[in-house]
C-alpha cells in the first residue's frame, strides 16, 4: 500500500488583537459616522452663516449685540452718552435699565456674554474703536450661526442612539432646515440660540449616560432663559429614579448649579441683583392675576387660556401650524410611549411643562418681526428625540403624509431662513400666516412649494428606504 503523504504543518496562529481594539467593521462604521457628522456640521454652518441676520436685526438681538460690543470695547455694558440712533434705525428703543447711575443694556446673561468673545477678537484683529461708527452686528451673528450648527450636530449624536444613521441624519436636517431653528435661533443671538444648544447637549449627554455633560448644557440653557432649569432638573430626577442612581441627579445638579451661580454673578455685576435672570426682574413676570403683572393677558383666566392656546394654534405663531410634523406624529408618539427611553420621555414632558409656563408669563407672539415662532423652540428641541422614535413606527400612509408635511415646512423655512421675511405686524398673528401671505402676494412661490415637496419625496425614496432589521441594528451599534 502506498504510504500516506506527510501531514501539512499547521499555519502559524494569527496574533490576537489587543483587548482594546475594535472589529474592523466597527472602525469603518465609526469613521463613516464621523465623516457624516463633520459633513452635517459644515453644511448647516455654511447655510446658517450665509443667511444669518447681519443688517436687518430684531431689537431683542440688537440690544444684546450692543451690550456685548460695549463690554468687549470698553469693559462695561454702559451706554451713557452713546448716540444709538446710528445703530438702531427702528422706532423701538434698545432694552436698557439703570444701575449705579449708568444706563446699561438689559438682556439675559447668555446672549450678551456669548457675543463678547467674537467682539473681543474683532477688537484685537482690527483695532476697532469704541464709537458707534465702529459697531457691527457681524460677530455675534456668526457666533449664533455656529452655535446653532453645533446644536444640530449634538441632536444628531443623540438620535444615533435611537434610530439608524440615515434616519438620524434626515431628522437632524429637518430640525435644521424645516423649522424656526433656521429662521430664529441661527439668525442672530436670541436666547433660543442658547436654549436649543443646551437642550440638544442635554439630549446628547443623556443618550450616552454622560451626566456631567447634561449638567453643563443645562447650565448653558439657564444662561439663555433661567426657567430652562426645569428641563435639566426633570431629566436628571426622572433618570435617577428610573435607574436607581442618585448620582445622576448629583452630577447634573452640581454642574448646573455652578453655571447658574455664574449667571447670578454676571447679573450682580451688571444689574446689582443676585438672580440669574440678567436684565430681567423676575417679579413682574410672576405676578399673574394682579395689577402688578407686566402684561394684561395674564391678569384674567380667560386671557391666560387664550395666550396658552395661541402658543399652539395661532396661525402665525402656533407650534402646530408652523411645524405640523408634530401633529402628524402625535398618535404614533402615544403608541410608542412605552418604547421610548426614559430620558427622551422626561425631556418631552418637561418641554411641555416649560412651554405651558412660558405661555403663562409672556405673550405668545414673542414680539414683532419674527418669522415662525420662538417661544416654542424649546419644546421642539425637547420633543425631537421622542418624535424620531415615533416616526420609526409610521406605516406607509403615514410616511407619505409625513414626507409631504416636511416638504411644506422646508418650503416655508427656506423663505424665512434666507430672507427672514415676510413677517407680520402686531394684531395679525392669530388670523394670518407669513408664508401663506407671501404665497398670496407672490404666486410664483407656489411653484417653489411644489418643488420642495417633490424634492423631499425624491430624497426620501433615494436615501430612506427601510433597512432590514440586521442592518438597522448594526447602524445603531
Question: Chain centroid to CA 77: how far?
Answer: 27
Number of Cβ within a 10 Å radius of residue 130: 14
For residues 380 and 323, the answer to whether their CB atoms sit within 8 Å is: yes
What pLDDT sits at residue 129? 83
What pLDDT sits at residue 356? 96
- The CB-based long-range contact list for 469-473 (8 Å cut-off, 24+ gap) reads 471/164, 472/163, 472/164
High-pLDDT (> 90) share of the chain, % = 72
Region 274-283 average pLDDT: 79
What pLDDT sits at residue 22? 45
In a domain, 117, yes or no: no
For residues 193 and 340, the answer to whether their CB atoms sit within 8 Å is: no
What pLDDT sits at residue 457? 97
In a domain, 291, yes or no: yes
What pLDDT sits at residue 30? 76
Residue 178 pLDDT class (50, 70, 90 cuts):
very high
Number of Cβ within a 10 Å radius of residue 245: 14
Q: Which residue range(s) make up the domain with 184? A: 163-471
What pLDDT sits at residue 466? 55
Region 364-373 average pLDDT: 90
What pLDDT sits at residue 29? 61
In a domain, 288, yes or no: yes
Residue 429 pLDDT class (50, 70, 90 cuts):
confident
Residue 283 pLDDT class (50, 70, 90 cuts):
low
pTM of the model: 0.90
Question: Out of 27-31, 41-45, 158-162, 453-457, which region has the weakest mean confidence (pLDDT)?
Answer: 27-31
In a domain, 283, yes or no: yes
* pLDDT of 186 strictly over 50: yes
* pLDDT of 104 strictly over 50: yes
Count of structural domains, the chain: 1
What pLDDT sits at residue 231? 96
Instruction: Phi first, then psi: give them for residue 78, nearest 5 degrees.
Output: -65, 140
Region 15-23 average pLDDT: 43
Q: What is the mean pLDDT of the chain?
A: 89
What pLDDT sits at residue 13? 47
What pLDDT sits at residue 341? 97
Region 291-312 average pLDDT: 84
What pLDDT sits at residue 473? 41
Instruction: Phi first, then psi: give them for residue 92, nearest 5 degrees.
Output: -95, 130
What pLDDT sits at residue 5? 45
Instruction: Phi first, then psi: give them for residue 102, nearest 5 degrees.
Output: -120, 150
* pLDDT of 426 strictly over 80: no
In a domain, 241, yes or no: yes
Region 92-108 average pLDDT: 90
In a domain, 95, yes or no: no
What pLDDT sits at residue 242? 96
* pLDDT of 293 strictly over 70: no
C-alpha cell at 393: 413606527
What pLDDT sits at residue 217? 98
Instruction: Report CA-CA distances (Å) from 228 to 198, 222, 352, 402.
Output: 9, 6, 12, 30
Bond preceding residue 422 cis, omega within 30 of 0: yes
Summarize pLDDT for 114-141 with one digit per residue, the tens: 999 999 999 999 988 888 889 999 999 9
* pLDDT of 295 strictly over 80: no
Three-state DSSP string of the chain: CCCCCCCCCCCCCCCCCCCCCCCHHHHHHHHHHHHHHHHHHHHHHHHHHHHCCCCCCCHHHHHHHHHHHHHHHHCCCECCCCCHHHCCCCCCCCCEEEECCEEEECCCHHHHHCCHHHHHHHHHHHCCCCCHHHCCCHHHHHHHHHHHHHHHHHHHHHHCCCCCHHHHHHHHHHHHHCCHHHHHHCCCCCHHHHHHHHHHHHHHHHHCCCHHHHHHHHHHHHHHCHHHHHHHHHHHHHHHHHHCCHHHHHHHHHHHHHHHHHHHHHHHHHHCCCCCCCCCCCHHHHCCCCCCCCCCHHHCHHHHHHHHHHHHHCCCCCHHHHCCHHHHHHHHHHHCHHHCCHHHHHHHHHHHHHHHHHHHHCCCCCCCCCCCCCCCHHHHHHHHHHHHHHHCCCCHHHHHHHHHHHHHHHHHHHHHHHHCCCCCCCCCCCCCCHHHHHHHHCCCHHHHHHHHHHHHHHHHHHHCCCCCHHHHHHHHC
* pLDDT of 476 strictly over 80: no
* pLDDT of 175 strictly over 60: yes
What pLDDT sits at residue 109? 95
Contacts of residue 333, Cβ cutoff 8 Å, sequence gap at least 6? 386, 387, 390
More confident residue, 170 or 91: 170
Instruction: Report CA-CA distances (Å) from 472 to 35, 209, 457, 467.
Output: 19, 22, 21, 6
For residue 97, the cross-strand partners are: 104
Question: Out of 26-30, 217-221, 427-431, which region has the weakest mean confidence (pLDDT)?
Answer: 26-30
Region 206-220 average pLDDT: 98
* pLDDT of 405 strictly over 60: yes
Find cell 423701538 and name the residue. Answer: 92
In a domain, 43, yes or no: no
What pLDDT sits at residue 468? 39
* pLDDT of 21 strictly over 80: no
Instruction: Phi first, then psi: give them for residue 273, nearest 5 degrees.
Output: -120, 155
In a domain, 115, yes or no: no
* pLDDT of 24 strictly over 70: no
What pLDDT sits at residue 448? 96
* pLDDT of 326 strictly over 80: yes
* pLDDT of 68 strictly over 60: yes
What pLDDT sits at residue 15? 43
Region 58-67 average pLDDT: 94
Summarize pLDDT for 32-59 with one digit per residue, the tens: 899 999 999 999 999 999 999 998 899 9
Region 448-469 average pLDDT: 85
Amino acid at each position: 500500500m502506498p504510504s500516506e503523504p506527510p501531514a501539512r504543518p499547521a499555519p502559524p496562529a494569527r496574533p490576537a488583537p489587543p483587548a482594546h481594539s475594535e472589529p474592523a467593521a466597527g472602525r469603518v462604521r465609526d469613521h463613516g459616522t464621523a465623516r457624516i457628522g463633520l459633513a452635517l456640521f459644515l453644511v448647516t454652518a455654511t447655510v446658517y452663516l450665509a443667511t444669518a441676520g447681519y443688517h436687518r436685526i430684531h431689537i431683542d438681538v440688537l440690544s444684546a449685540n450692543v451690550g456685548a460690543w460695549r463690554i468687549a470695547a470698553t469693559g462695561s455694558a454702559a451706554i451713557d452718552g452713546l448716540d444709538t440712533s446710528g445703530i438702531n434705525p427702528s422706532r423701538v428703543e434698545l432694552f436698557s435699565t439703570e444701575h449705579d447711575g449708568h444706563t446699561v443694556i438689559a438682556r439675559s446673561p447668555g446672549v450678551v456674554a456669548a457675543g463678547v468673545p467674537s467682539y473681543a477678537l474683532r477688537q484685537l484683529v482690527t483695532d476697532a474703536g469704541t464709537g458707534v461708527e465702529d459697531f457691527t452686528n457681524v460677530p455675534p451673528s456668526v457666533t449664533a450661526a455656529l452655535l446653532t450648527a453645533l446644536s444640530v450636530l449634538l441632536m444628531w449624536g443623540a438620535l444615533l442612539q435611537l434610530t439608524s444613521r440615515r434616519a438620524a441624519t434626515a431628522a437632524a436636517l429637518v430640525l435644521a432646515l424645516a423649522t424656526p431653528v433656521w429662521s430664529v435661533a441661527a439668525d442672530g443671538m436670541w436666547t433660543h440660540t442658547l436654549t436649543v444648544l443646551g437642550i440638544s447637549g442635554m439630549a446628547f449627554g443623556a443618550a450616552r449616560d454622560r451626566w456631567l455633560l447634561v449638567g453643563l448644557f443645562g447650565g448653558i440653557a439657564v444662561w439663555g432663559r433661567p426657567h430652562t432649569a426645569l428641563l435639566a432638573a426633570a431629566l436628571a430626577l426622572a433618570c435617577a429614579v428610573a435607574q436607581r442612581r442618585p448620582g445622576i441627579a448629583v452630577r447634573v445638579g452640581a454642574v448646573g448649579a455652578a453655571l447658574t451661580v455664574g449667571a447670578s454673578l454676571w447679573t450682580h455685576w451688571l444689574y446689582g441683583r443676585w438672580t440669574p435672570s440678567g436684565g430681567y426682574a423676575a417679579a413682574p413676570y410672576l405676578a399673574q392675576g394682579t395689577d402688578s403683572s407686566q402684561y394684561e393677558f395674564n391678569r384674567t383666566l380667560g386671557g391666560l387660556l387664550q395666550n396658552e392656546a395661541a402658543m399652539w394654534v395661532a396661525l402665525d405663531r402656533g407650534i402646530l401650524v408652523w411645524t405640523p410634523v408634530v401633529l402628524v406624529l402625535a398618535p404614533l408618539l402615544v403608541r410608542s410611549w412605552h418604547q421610548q427611553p426614559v430620558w427622551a420621555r422626561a425631556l418631552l414632558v418637561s418641554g411641555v411643562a416649560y412651554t405651558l409656563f412660558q405661555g403663562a408669563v409672556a405673550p405668545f407672539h414673542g414680539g414683532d418681526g419674527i418669522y415662525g415662532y420662538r417661544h416654542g423652540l424649546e419644546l421642539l428641541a425637547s420633543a425631537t428625540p421622542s418624535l424620531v422614535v415615533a416616526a420609526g413606527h409610521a406605516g406607509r400612509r403615514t410616511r407619505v403624509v409625513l414626507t409631504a408635511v416636511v416638504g411644506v415646512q422646508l418650503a416655508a423655512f427656506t423663505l424665512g431662513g434666507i430672507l427672514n421675511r415676510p413677517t407680520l405686524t402686531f394684531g395679525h398673528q392669530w388670523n394670518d400666516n407669513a408664508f401663506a401671505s407671501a404665497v398670496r402676494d407672490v404666486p410664483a412661490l407656489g411653484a417653489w412649494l411644489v418643488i420642495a415637496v417633490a424634492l423631499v419625496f425624491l430624497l426620501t425614496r433615494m436615501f430612506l428606504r427601510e433597512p432590514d432589521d440586521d442592518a438597522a441594528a448594526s447602524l445603531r451599534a
